[in-house]
Amino acid sequence: MPRFSDFLRLCLSIGWRSFGGPAAQIQLLHEEFVQKHALVTEEQFQTALGFCTLIPGPEAQQLATFLGHSLYGTRGAIAAGLLFIFPGSLCISIWSAAYVLAPSHPATFTILSFLRPFALGLILAAIVRMFLRLPRTASALIWAFLSWGVLAMHLLPFPWILLLAGGSGVLLSKASQERPIPQKIASKLTSSFLIGGVSLTIWMLPVAACVGWLGQEHRLSQISILLSKSALTTFGGAYATLPYLASLAVDQYHWFSHLNMLDGLALGETTPGPLLLVLQFYGFLAAWNTPDPFTPAVAAGLGSLLALWATFAPSFFWILMGAPWATVLIESPRIQSALRTISFAVVGSLACLGSSLSLLEIKRHPSFPWHSAFLVLAVVLWRLWKVLPSLFARRKPNPHQ
């Protein structure tokens, strides 16, 4: 066990180096906690990772929080989780200020002209990678295309799709394989409910205070309520919930435009930390555009803080409440089946987002944007170069068939 000060320096270093999305961030955590410093065993790391895939929110940040909790309890969880998002949050704050204070500056325009197609290429590459990981079954393809079609035609909101997908997964699971809860874990049920009640109260206090002070229709109240709802539906990472947020924030509440949304994705993809930090930019921009009764700077700062709180506070509460149940939950066939079906629907929601943003990028230019298209293609090939050989490789015939 290192000294707590050394642990803090390690977590801050990881926060500054956490580029490349959740897969790269999880690999970085594995290298630092398991391979390099041997703070946890491989079995402990895999249990923590399995649990973090079951709960909504950013997997890599929750994994860092869980590992901190395993080493130092509550203070370790809070320290590891906060330091994982602090560097990225600081970068997003600087980018947000530059975005609204110098929107027409040549440097800002040049940077965004490259970052927009870069972000779009990352989204399209993520769609391909997720689609390739889909099992070649009728259930997977049906849920993926059904989710895409329902979201594209605005027939159902994203949380309802997740609920239906998860419910169908539970119904199709093999309940007979469910294992009984160990007695030593069941004895902690009261403690978990107590932690959950206190955590829920702490999480909702700023939201309730904002609504009570400014009213439910105020922009800051809308930010708090909407992002609190989205924090409960972010299964599958940031890309999974962005179509849902886009349909509400852009089409219903009119906080900003689809182009602003793409700019936020570009900024989030090029800064350290979880991609859900992009919601900090959205909260900043939404409050800046409608600041009354505050000044734009004060309103934007409050919107940024509320977005951070509503998005990431639940991550700490899930870990503190559910850590004793980690092993039981990851071995439950019902939960695994529900999450598997939800992952199929997430692929469709991400495809809906990618197609809508691609059309937006094309319509934004008077002629076809060849330079953007080449940059998007380059980013897609860069992200998929490891899986491209498997697409063209011939499968060897099975002699037993």
- DSSP output for 354-387: HHHHHHHHHHTSSS--HHHHHHHHHHHHHHHTTT
- Which pTM does this prediction carry? 0.76
- Give 212-225 pLDDT, tens digit per residue: 999 988 999 999 99
User: Rounded CA gap, 39 and 54, in Å?
Assistant: 23
Hey, what are 266's tokens?
A: 């570009």
- Give 261-276 pLDDT, tens digit per residue: 878 877 877 788 888 8
Q: What is the predicted pLDDT for the residue at 401?
A: 41
Q: What is the predicted pLDDT for the residue at 29?
A: 92
Q: What is the predicted pLDDT for the residue at 66?
A: 92
Residue type, 87: P
Residue closest to 152 by CA, chosen among 301, 14, 348: 348
- Give 3-60 pLDDT, tens digit per residue: 999 999 999 999 999 886 777 788 899 999 998 988 998 888 888 887 887 788 888 8
> 134: how many CB neighbours lie within 10 A of its CB?
15
CB 118 within 8 A of CB 261: no
Q: What is the dihedral of CA 348, 351, 352, 354, to 10 degrees?
A: 160
CA angle 365–369–370, rounded 5-degree value: 170
Tokens 């609204």 found at: 100
Q: What is the predicted pLDDT for the residue at 149?
A: 82
Please list the alpha-helical segments (H only) found in 175-295.
183-186, 189-214, 219-230, 238-246, 258-269, 278-289
Residue closest to 227 by CA, chosen among 215, 212, 245, 240: 245
Burial 218-232, CB ≥16 within 10 A → b, else e: bbbbbbbbbbbbbbe
User: Rounded CA gap, 258 and 249, in Å?
Assistant: 9
Sequence-distant (6+) residues with CB within 8 A of 117 are: 361, 369, 371, 372, 373, 375, 376, 379
> CA dist 82 to 119, 146, 361, Å?
25, 37, 35
Q: What is the pLDDT along the chain (401 residues), one digit of tens a residue?
A: 789 999 999 999 999 998 867 777 888 999 999 989 889 988 888 888 878 877 888 888 999 999 999 899 889 999 999 999 999 999 999 989 988 887 767 777 777 777 777 777 776 776 777 677 667 777 778 888 888 888 777 777 666 777 788 788 778 776 545 555 555 555 566 676 777 778 888 888 999 999 999 998 899 999 999 888 888 777 656 666 666 676 678 878 888 887 888 788 778 777 888 888 989 999 999 999 999 889 999 999 999 999 999 999 988 888 888 777 776 666 677 777 777 777 777 777 767 766 766 666 666 655 556 667 777 777 777 767 766 665 555 444 444 44
Q: What is the predicted pLDDT for the residue at 32?
A: 92
Q: What is the predicted pLDDT for the residue at 182?
A: 55
